Amino acid sequence: MYFQIFRTLCAYASSVVLIVIGVIYSTILSASDDTDAGQMLKENDFMQLFADHSFQETYFLKIDDNPSLNFTGSLLLFIAVLFVVYILWYLRKPKVSKHTVTGFKILNLNDQELFIPLKEQANTLEFLEKISTNQKYRLSANLNRVNLTPHQNTYLLEDKNFKNALLINRRRSHNTILCDNDVLDIGEMMLLYCNKNMPEGKNLRTSRMEYNLPIYGVKPKGPVRKGTPILSPTGSQHDILLLRNTNSIGSSKFNDIVIRSDQVALRHTKIYKIGKSWKIQNLLNHETTSVNGRRIDQRFLNDGDEIAVGNILFKFRISKSRGKQVRIPRSENAKKSVKN
């Protein structure tokens, strides 16, 4: 802001300097022309003479003394002009589509306005072949083996093909719950999944309520060193630190983080370090671990991801403070805190 004002002032100053130079230049010229007359005249008359010489009666654009519009008229016209500009501005307002129904929107540039509403009952993706588009798209084969089943507010997409050409968010997946604004690539066709019933982005929210959750682990006793990953369970204000390179999560007391719950297996998940990043891995096939609402097998974690283990929700974040780390020998603290 101040920088811009400074620049404007600079521009102003330079223009003023140039004008002054020009005026001085013209005075020198006129003075040299009228040396004899100038001595005769008084100062006021000299100014008049100089003005007459340099501005030679006519204006630069030769505009008359009596303009055709009066003062109020021209002001009204100016206001009308401003109003026209306002209309021009208003016309450029982006139009948000008002589809309240769930469905697919085609992203291909030639079929902009096309919207495909989805039916309530379960069906396959075969209906995409029957849609009339401006341009013919090559679709991937065996769309009849891709199922779309309603699941709570949204749909579950299951791909039964062994090899497929179906990408969700530019990744292959066989079993996905569709979220709002997911991008599907089916052969040449690009689809955007629209669902206004679902809350935007991450579907699970953290609450400030304090429940006595049966979670035991290393709790921070002061500032945490930068780069240390932290799990903060939803419904509890106590964070849990991941201090070792491999941290296991489960209901058995031999884990680093112990969750006493029926829905958590004895050894459920582990979070381990690869290079500078952290990865989560589901250890049992019949149990689920999900990240950001999606069931995963293994996946790299980002700061701010939401991890669900059984019925417990965690938020994964990486400490950014620069304090000293509390030293706790191995994971003995976790074992002590489990009351047996």
CA 332 to chain centre: 42
Tell which positions 133-192 bind another protein, by CB under 8 A: 135, 137-138, 165, 167, 169-172, 180-181, 183, 185, 187-188, 190, 192
Do the beta carbons of residue 250 and residue 258 sit within 8 Å? yes
Task: Report the largest interatomic distance among the alpha carbons of the chain, rounded to a whole angstrom.
Answer: 117
Tell which positions 181-220 bind another protein, by CB under 8 A: 181, 183, 185, 187-188, 190, 192, 200-201
Q: Kindly state the number of chain residues that form the binding site for another protein, as judged by CB under 8 A.
A: 74
Q: CB under 8 Å to 44, separation ≥6 — which residues?
A: none
Nearest to another protein of 15, 144 (CB atom):
15
Tell which positions 3-32 bind another protein, by CB under 8 A: 3-4, 7-8, 11-12, 15, 18-19, 22, 25-26, 29
Tell which positions 86-115 bind another protein, by CB under 8 A: 88-89, 92-97, 107-110, 112
Binding mask 273-302 for another protein (x = CB under 8 A): -----------------------------x
User: Could you say which of 32, 35, 39, 68 contacts another protein (CB under 8 A)?
Assistant: 68
CA 205 to chain centre: 18
Other CB atoms within 10 Å distance of the CB of residue 118: 19
Q: Does 131 bind another protein (CB under 8 A)?
A: no
Distance CA 127, CA 123 (A): 9
Concatenated DSSP letters of 242-284 = --SSEEEEESSTTSSEEE--TTS-SS-EEEEEETTEEEEEE--
Binding mask 301-340 for another protein (x = CB under 8 A): -x--------------------------------------
Tell which positions 30-49 bind another protein, by CB under 8 A: 47-48
Helices (H), the chain: 2-33, 35-40, 43-55, 71-91, 332-337
